[in-house]
């Protein structure tokens, strides 16, 4: 007799499950077409960019937002502006994040200091962060991984009491909340990405958000080559004009930067999607709870901190190190055409990447929690139109391994 599990492996279901379905809908394209059909539409940064920034600020609950051409650019101008305000020093960063977070710290002239992760949130463990705060700490750069809330009261209190800016990377976690308030509204500043795979997509795009007016003006300047005229602050512009009377006031560059502006086209897509973002996020959260609720907790981690989560990916992490089970998981998902990424966000432990090994050598060996995710963790696509039957079928396959 052949058992049912063996039959399933002999004839695995074709789940046709890509990492992401397109966030850009017909209605988004219609809004874009309507704009393009105007007489002589302005395509570069203009009124729609400003409107999207205002609408996003209202949705998030902050005073200021600056729309840029990618989440990576949001990281870049955040760190550049922070360096202008506070000078050189150290920035505490996670080993599990996208490369641009750490690259922006290096590009701005800061020294990255790493803290291991909390396995229930995949973000930095607050206890590890607090241990590494020193007088040279210029910021804590916290990433909310794949839609999990990485904040807690201890970290917020430590940063506030010591006057250390908290920077929130919310690129993967639009709508995630902490204590009922949206992540991205707690820190000194926050960064969002609107890439194809994320909760809201402008094709490419990103946002820097803050309540601090001086930082906001620096981000506007940094977005456009470091050009002083981009600031709304008349005193800021006048100060530079008075200090450098030999320069044309229209072409004063306060510090070296790049063109990181976005376009009206990207902003229109963002404005079209924003009204349905909360509804879509609720569907994603329901999918994650269904997935974790049906996995075998003896084999897989199912105790993630779900309060306030808004996940654009399903997290699959083995309970214990087990290379054989890991390899069978990958083979089973491949057979059923379920796209996945091993290592979860950014490919796992960034300290194992060549650019950091050249700087820090074997430092990667000191972070066991992120190393477990690096070798035994995956993420799988999660989107509003994901069918519940597919979630159930995949859990059956994985539990049978």
- Tokens matching residue 29: 């394209």
Rounded distance, CA 23 to CA 29, Å? Answer: 11
Rounded distance, CA 74 to CA 80, Å? Answer: 10
In three-state secondary structure terms, 111 is strand
Whether the per-residue pLDDT at 74 is higher than 80: the answer is yes
Rounded distance, CA 263 to CA 203, Å? Answer: 11
Whether the per-residue pLDDT at 12 is higher than 90: the answer is no
**Which pLDDT tens digit goes with each residue over 46-62?**
999 999 999 999 999 99
Whether the per-residue pLDDT at 8 is higher than 60: the answer is no
What number of other Cβ atoms are within 10 A of residue 7's Cβ? 10
Rounded distance, CA 224 to CA 230, Å? Answer: 7
Mean pLDDT of 143-148: 97
Mean pLDDT of 88-102: 98
Question: Domain residue spans in the chain?
Answer: 4-22+276-399, 26-274
Rounded distance, CA 222 to CA 235, Å? Answer: 17
Confidence of residue 10 (pLDDT cuts 50, 70, 90): low
In this structure, the dihedral spanned by the alpha carbons of residues 330, 334, 337 and 339, taken in order and rounded to 10 degrees, is 50
* CB-count exposure of residue 137 (10 Å: 0-12, 13-18, 19+): buried
Low-confidence winner among 1-15, 100-114, 150-164, 215-229 (lowest mean pLDDT): 1-15
What topology does CATH give the domain 26-274?
3.40.640
- Tokens matching residue 159: 């940063």
Whether the per-residue pLDDT at 4 is higher than 90: the answer is no
DSSP letter at 276 equals G
pTM: 0.95
Asked if residue 308 lies in contact with residue 175, where contact means CB atoms within 8 angstroms, the answer is no
**Which pLDDT tens digit goes with each residue over 304-319?**
999 999 998 999 999 9
Rounded distance, CA 137 to CA 162, Å? Answer: 10
Mean pLDDT of 223-242: 97
Measured at the alpha carbon of residue 49, what is the angle toward residues 43 and 54, in degrees to the nearest 5? 165
Mean pLDDT, all residues of the chain? 96
- Tokens 């989107």 belong to 383
Confidence of residue 9 (pLDDT cuts 50, 70, 90): low
Measured at the alpha carbon of residue 28, what is the angle toward residues 67 and 35, in degrees to the nearest 5? 75
* CB-count exposure of residue 289 (10 Å: 0-12, 13-18, 19+): middle
Asked if residue 326 lies in contact with residue 375, where contact means CB atoms within 8 angstroms, the answer is yes
Secondary structure of 333-354 in the HEC alphabet?
HHHCCECEEECCHHHCEHHHCH
Asked if residue 191 lies in contact with residue 171, where contact means CB atoms within 8 angstroms, the answer is yes
- Beta pairing partners, 96: 349
Q: What is the pLDDT of residue 21?
A: 86
Mean pLDDT of 110-119: 98
Q: What is the pLDDT of residue 3?
A: 45
Mean pLDDT of 185-198: 95
Whether the per-residue pLDDT at 322 is higher than 60: the answer is yes
Enumerate residues 6+ apart whose C-beta is below 8 A from 364. 95, 349, 351, 352, 356, 357, 371
CATH number of 4-22+276-399: 3.90.1150.10
**Which pLDDT tens digit goes with each residue over 266-302?**
999 999 999 999 999 999 999 999 999 999 999 999 9
Confidence of residue 179 (pLDDT cuts 50, 70, 90): very high
Whether the per-residue pLDDT at 388 is higher than 50: the answer is yes
Mean pLDDT of 205-232: 98
């Amino acid at each position: 007799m052949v058992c049912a599990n063996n039959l399933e492996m002999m004839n695995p279901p074709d789940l046709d499950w890509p990492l992401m379905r397109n966030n850009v809908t017909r209605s988004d394209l219609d809004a874009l077409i309507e704009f393009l059909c105007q007489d002589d539409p302005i395509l570069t940064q203009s009124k729609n960019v400003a409107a999207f920034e205002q609408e996003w600020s209202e949705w998030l609950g902050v005073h200021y937002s600056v729309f840029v051409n990618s989440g990576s650019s949001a990281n870049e101008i955040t760190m550049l502006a922070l360096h202008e305000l506070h000078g050189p020093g150290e920035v505490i960063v996670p080993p599990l994040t996208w490369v641009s977070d750490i690259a922006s710290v290096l590009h701005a002239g800061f020294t990255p200091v790493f803290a291991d992760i909390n396995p229930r949130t995949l973000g930095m463990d607050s206890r590890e962060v607090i241990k590494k705060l020193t007088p040279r700490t210029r910021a804590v750069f916290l990433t909310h991984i794949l839609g999990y809330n990485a904040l807690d009261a201890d970290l917020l209190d430590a940063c506030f009491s010591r006057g250390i800016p908290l920077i929130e990377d919310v690129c993967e976690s639009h709508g995630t909340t902490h204590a009922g308030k949206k992540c991205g509204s707690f820190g000194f500043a926050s960064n969002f990405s609107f890439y194809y795979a994320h909760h809201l997509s402008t094709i490419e795009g990103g946002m820097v958000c803050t309540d601090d007016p001086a930082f906001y003006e620096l981000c506007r300047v940094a977005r456009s080559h470091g050009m002083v005229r981009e600031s709304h602050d008349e005193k800021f512009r006048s100060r530079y004009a008075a200090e450098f009377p030999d320069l044309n006031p229209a072409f004063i560059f306060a510090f070296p930067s790049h063109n990181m502006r976005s376009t009206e086209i990207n902003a229109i897509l963002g404005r079209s999607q924003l009204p349905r973002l909360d509804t879509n996020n609720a569907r994603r959260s329901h999918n994650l709870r269904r997935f974790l609720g049906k996995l075998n907790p003896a084999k897989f981690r199912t105790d993630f901190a779900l309060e306030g989560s808004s996940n654009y990916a399903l997290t699959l992490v083995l309970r214990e190190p087990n290379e054989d089970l890991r390899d069978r998981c990958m083979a089973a998902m491949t057979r059923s055409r379920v796209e996945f990424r091993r290592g979860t966000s950014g490919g796992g432990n960034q300290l194992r990447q060549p650019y950091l090994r050249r700087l820090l050598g074997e430092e990667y060996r000191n972070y066991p929690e992120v190393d477990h995710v690096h070798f035994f963790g995956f993420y799988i696509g999660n989107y509003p139109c994901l069918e519940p039957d597919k979630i159930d079928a995949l859990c059956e396959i994985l539990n049978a391994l």
